[in-house]
Structures are given as structure tokens and as C-alpha cells.
């Protein structure tokens, strides 16, 4: 258990922590029952782009009055895949899509000139029969444009599958 002095020192050392909660951006607590039936408080970190590329997803707690809402400013290639269906053009702003709220996470999705190519790559990766040549071609074009995010990580893994270990 951390005492108040240690927490204050940690808060001062890490400016990404929120002083009112002691949490880093995207973190939250959940109450979990262990196998003995005891309730414990567990810290949950937000997923990295690597985690999303591997297919992980978070089940976020519902937002309540006292919930901390975490705001992320991302590009389409970084937006979690389950939210892609909710991407709509914001006609009041020329450079972004409408804000997407996912329980305690809020996403401002910025437009880029490569969004159509990113959608194409995602579509190629979701097809039943993977066309590695097309995926490679689309990946290289986006890589030359310095696009980052889980879409690119996942495409790279499809093109260069990890070696099987014994």
C-alpha cells in the first residue's frame, strides 16, 4: 500500500498523473473479486497501439457523475476498430470527425489525407482471403507517408508473420 507522502512524490515526479486521482491518462480502477471472494481494487491501463493490433479490447466502465473522462486526440489509424463504424464527418470543423464517446473514453479523431488508404488497408486485412500483395502495396504507400497506429502494426504482422518457436 502506498502512503500519502509517496503518492505526493510520485505525483510530482510524473506530470502525466492527474493530481486529484493519482491516475495516469487513460487509467481507471475496477473492483474485482478474487477466487476467495474478496473484493480488490485493480488498476487498469489503457491499451497501447500494439495491444490493439494484437486484438485486445477493453471493457470500459460506464460513465457516472464522478467518473473521470479521458480524452484522446487520435488519427483514424489509431482509433480502436470497434469505433470505426461511428466515424462521421464533423461539418463544423474542416479537419476532424465528430467526437466519439466510448463510456469513460472520448476520442477526437483528426482527419488526414491518407484516411481513404487507411480504410482500404483495414478492409484488405478484414477480408476472408488475405491478398498479401495488395496489403503489402497499401502498407508501403502508407509507410512512406509516415502513417502510424495499430492498423500499420497489424499489417506489418500479416506481411511478416512471426517465426514459430518450438
What predicted TM-score, i.e. pTM, was given to this entire model?
A: 0.77
pLDDT-derived band at 135 (thresholds 50, 70, 90) equals: very high
Q: Which residue has the higher pLDDT, 12 or 134?
A: 134
The 10s digit of each residue's pLDDT in 85-96 is 999 998 888 888
**Amino acid 157: pLDDT:** 94
DSSP string, 74-143: EEGGGS-GGGGGG--B-TT-TTBBPPEEETTEEEEEEP-TTHHHHHHHHHHHHSSS--HHHHHHHHHHHH
Amino acid at each position: 500500500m502506498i502512503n500519502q507522502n509517496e503518492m505526493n512524490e510520485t505525483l510530482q515526479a510524473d506530470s502525466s498523473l492527474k493530481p486529484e486521482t493519482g491516475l495516469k491518462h487513460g487509467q481507471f480502477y475496477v473492483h474485482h473479486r478474487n477466487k476467495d471472494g474478496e473484493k480488490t481494487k485493480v488498476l487498469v491501463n489503457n491499451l497501447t497501439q500494439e495491444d490493439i493490433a494484437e486484438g485486445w479490447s477493453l471493457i470500459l466502465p460506464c460513465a457516472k457523475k464522478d467518473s473521470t473522462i479521458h480524452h484522446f486526440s487520435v488519427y483514424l489509424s489509431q482509433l480502436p476498430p470497434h469505433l470505426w463504424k461511428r466515424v462521421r464527418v464533423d461539418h463544423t470543423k474542416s479537419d476532424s470527425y465528430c467526437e466519439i464517446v466510448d463510456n469513460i473514453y472520448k476520442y477526437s479523431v483528426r482527419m488526414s489525407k491518407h484516411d481513404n488508404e487507411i480504410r482500404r488497408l483495414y478492409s484488405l486485412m478484414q477480408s476472408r482471403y488475405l491478398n498479401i500483395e495488395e496489403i503489402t502495396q497499401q502498407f508501403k504507400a502508407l509507410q512512406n507517408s509516415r502513417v502510424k497506429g495499430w492498423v500499420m502494426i497489424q499489417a506489418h504482422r500479416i506481411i511478416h508473420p512471426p517465426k514459430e518457436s518450438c
